[in-house]
Amino acid sequence: MTEPHHPWLTRYLVLTAVATLGLICLGGLVTSHGAGMAVPDWPTTYGYNMFFFPISQWVGGIFYEHTHRLVASGVGLMTLVLTVWIWVVERRRWMRWLGVIAALAVMLQGVLGGLRVIAMQAGLGVVHATLAQLFLVLVSALALFSSRSWMSRGSPTGTICVPRWTVQLYGTVTGLIVLQLVLGALMRHQHAGLAIPDFPAAYGRLWPAMDAESISRYNQLRMEATDLNPITAGGVALQMAHRVTAGLVLLGVAGLAWSALRRWGWRQRLSQLSVGWLGLILGQVALGAATIWTNKSADITTAHVAVGSLSLVTGAMLLLACGRVSRRLVPAASEGAQPGWDETTPGRALLA
Amino acid sequence: MRTQNTCLTVAVLVGSLSALSAAEISGKVKLNGTPPPEASMKMTDPVCSKERGAETISSRHYVVGADKGLANVLVYIKEGAAPKPATGEAALLDQTKCEYQPYVMGLQAGQKLKIRNSDPTLHNVNAQPKINKGFNIGQPVKGMVAEKTFDKPEVFVRFKCDVHPWMFAYVGVLDHPYFAVTDKDGSFKISGVPAGKYTLEMIHPKCGAKTMEVTLADSDIKTLDVTLDVPAAK
C-alpha cells in the first residue's frame, strides 16, 4: 500500500531546513565576529528576558549573538511543530521517531549553545557547530522522505540501477565532508584568526614549521586588530589537515561526477546532481582560499560555512537517493550468460 | 600593655629601616627596529564612535615614545624574590572610550582588581587566564565596578570585550610587588626591593621577553637600559 503524501508537510520541512541553514549562517557570523561571549548570561540577555532585550542595546558583538539566540528559538519552535505534525499524519513509525529525534536534537542544541556561554568552554562550541550540521541533514532527510518521489517508492535520482560500490563511494566522500566540517569548527572555535595567513603556500613553504620558536615568531609577527587567541602548533596542524581533506573531498566528488556522467550521461538526474555537487565543492575551495586572502573577512568566512553545509546536505541526500535504488551486480550464472542486477535493495527495505 | 607598645615600636622601626635600606631599579626600555604599521578597526558601536569623536581605533602593539622608548613593557623580578602577600590598594582596569586603560598592567596575586565601565554602553569583561580561574561578566551600565582577584602568578592574563572586538588588554599577575610597566617614554621604576641577586625580565606582548641578572646591595639605585627588538620576519 502506498503511503499518503502530505505536500504541505514536505513544504514545511523544506522551510525548516532553509531556516536551519539561515541559523547556521548566523552562527557563522557570531564566530566570524568573535562575538560568542558578547552576552555573558543565558538564557537571559544582560539580565533581561531575551525576547524583551531592548533593540537599542543590540550593539557590536551583542547584535550577532542575540540575533542568533532569537532565530534559534524560532527554529526550535518550528522543529517542535514538525515533530507533532509528523507524529499526527505519518503512518511510517521510523519517520515519527525521526521527528522525535529532531525535537530532542534541537533542544540539546539550545542547551549546548547556552552551556558554551556559561561554562566558557570553546570545546562545547565545536560540538554545538557539528550538531547544527547534523541537524540540518536530519531535517533535509525528513523533507526527502516525505517527498512525492520517495513516497511513490522511487528516488529523486530516477529509475536507474546504482552499483553498491558507487553508493559506498558517495558515503565515504560525504563522511569526509563531515570530517572536514568538524576540522573547520575546531579551527573557528579556537578564535585564533588565521593560524596560517597565506595560501596556497603555508608561511611561504609547502609545509609550515611547527616548532615552539617558529610558533612564537608567527605570533609576534601578527598585527591583529582584534582580540585573537595566540596561534598554536595545533592550530597550524589543524589548518593543514583542513587543506589536505579539502583536496581529498574535491578529488572524490570530481571522480563521482565524472563517473556518473560517463555511466549515465548528462540527462540523468543523478549525473546533474553530482555535477552540481562538484560545483558547490569548487565554490567552497574558492571561498576557503578567499577566507585566507581577505584575512578572514566575516562575510566570506560565513559564506564558506554556508556552502560547507550545503555540500554536506547535497552529499547526504545523494547518498540516501542512491541507496534507495542501489543494486548489487550479480556475476553471470553460466558461461556466455550476461551478468545481472540483484533486485533486493537494502535501502528500500530499510526505508520503505 | 607596655610589652605591646614595645613590639609595635620595634615593628615600625624594622619596617622603616628595611624601607630605607631597600634598593631601587629604574631605567628605560627602547625598541630596536621599525615596527609594522598598526592595524586599524572599524567601530561597530555608534556610542563608541560618539565617545571617541574624530579619534579612530587601532591596535596598540607598539607604543613608541621619544628616543625610541617602548611603552607597555612589564618589567618584573622573575627569580630571586620571595613571595609576598598583597597589601596595596586595589588596581584599576578601566573601560573608557571603548578601550582598556591601561593596555598592559601588573597586579599582585591576591590584590584586588577593580574593573570599571566608564562608557555609556555595554561591555563584557572576558578574562582568559591559563592558570587562574577565568570569568566573563557583563557591565551594561556606565559606572559599574566589579572586583576580582587572581590567586596565582601568571604573565599575561588576557582581558577582552566580545561586544567590541578591538578591546583587549594584558595583566601580569605576580606573587610579589616588585614590578613596573614602562610609560610612554619607555621608563620604569621598581622601588622597595630588598638587597639580593635577582633575574629581571622585560616582557612585551609583541617583542617577547628578555632577562638579565641584577645584584642589589642595600639602598642601591640601579639604572638599566634595555633594548627589545622588533621580531624579524624570517
Which pLDDT belongs to residue B53? Answer: 84
Query: Is residue B16 one of the residues assigned to a domain?
Result: no
Q: Give residue A158's identity as a one-letter amino acid code.
A: G
Q: Do B208 and A220 touch (CB under 8 A)?
A: yes
Give the confidence band of B234 by pLDDT, cuts at 50, 70, 90: low
Question: Residue B214 pLDDT more than 50?
Answer: yes
Question: Residue A329 pLDDT more than 80?
Answer: no
Q: Report the gap between the CA of B217 and the closest CA in chain A (Å).
A: 36
> Taking residues B67-72, what's their average pLDDT?
95
Q: CA A345 to CA A200: how far, in whole Å?
A: 44
Q: A–B: how many Cβ contacts below 8 A?
A: 92
Q: Give residue A131's identity as a one-letter amino acid code.
A: L
Contact list in B for residue A60 (CB cut-off 8 A) is 44-45, 48, 163-165
What residues pair up with B225 in beta bridges, in sequence order? B28
Give the confidence band of A336 by pLDDT, cuts at 50, 70, 90: low
Q: Give residue B170's identity as a one-letter amino acid code.
A: Y
Which pLDDT belongs to residue A166? Answer: 87
Angle at A71 between CA A70 and CA A77, to 5 degrees: 95
Query: Is residue B11 one of the residues assigned to a domain?
Result: no
Contact list in B for residue A120 (CB cut-off 8 A) is 126, 134, 136
Contact yes or no for A142/A150 (Cβ under 8 A): no
Contact list in B for residue A37 (CB cut-off 8 A) is 124, 126, 136, 162
Query: Is residue B182 one of the residues assigned to a domain?
Result: yes
User: pTM score, two decimals?
Assistant: 0.83
Model ipTM value: 0.76
| Span A213-224, pLDDT tens digits | 999 989 988 888
> Taking residues B54-64, what's their average pLDDT?
89
Query: Is residue B47 one of the residues assigned to a domain?
Result: yes
Task: Domain of residue B80: give its range.
Answer: 23-229
| Span A139-160, pLDDT tens digits | 999 999 999 888 876 656 555 6
A242: contact with B, CB 8 A cutoff = no
Q: CA A127 to CA B71: how far, in whole Å?
A: 41
- State the DSSP code for A52: G
Q: Do B165 and A60 touch (CB under 8 A)?
A: yes
Question: Residue B225 pLDDT more than 70?
Answer: yes
Cell representation of residue B182: 614602562
Mutation site for A-interface testing, chosen from B163, B167, B203, B207 by largest number of A Cβ within 10 Å: B163
Query: Is residue B14 one of the residues assigned to a domain?
Result: no
> Taking residues B92-99, what's their average pLDDT?
96
Number of domains, chain B: 1
In the stretch 12-51 of chain B, residues with CB closer than 8 A to chain A read 36-41, 44-48
High-pLDDT (> 90) share of chain A, %: 70
Q: CA A77 to CA B219: how far, in whole Å?
A: 72
Residue with grid cell 559606572, as numbered in its chain: B143
> Taking residues A338-345, what's their average pLDDT?
52
Closest residue on chain A to B170 (Cα): A227
A52 or B53, which is more confident? A52
Query: Is residue B9 one of the residues assigned to a domain?
Result: no
Rg (CA), chain B: 20
Pairing verdict, β B123-128 and B154-160: antiparallel
Cα-to-chain-centroid distance, residue A180: 9
Cell representation of residue A79: 522543529
Question: Residue A225 pLDDT more than 60?
Answer: yes
Contact list in A for residue B210 (CB cut-off 8 A) is none
Q: In sequence order, what E strands does chain A have?
A: 162-163, 326-330, 340-342
Query: Is residue B163 one of the residues assigned to a domain?
Result: yes
High-pLDDT (> 70) share of chain B, %: 91
Which pLDDT belongs to residue B5? Answer: 63
Task: For residue A223, give the nearest of B38, B136, B158 by CB distance.
Answer: B38
Query: Is residue B10 one of the residues assigned to a domain?
Result: no
Residue with grid cell 558507487, as numbered in its chain: A166
Closest residue on chain A to B205 (Cα): A220
Q: Give residue B184's identity as a one-letter amino acid code.
A: K
Q: Do A60 and B137 touch (CB under 8 A)?
A: no
CATH number at residue B185: 2.60.40.420
Contact list in A for residue B45 (CB cut-off 8 A) is 59-60
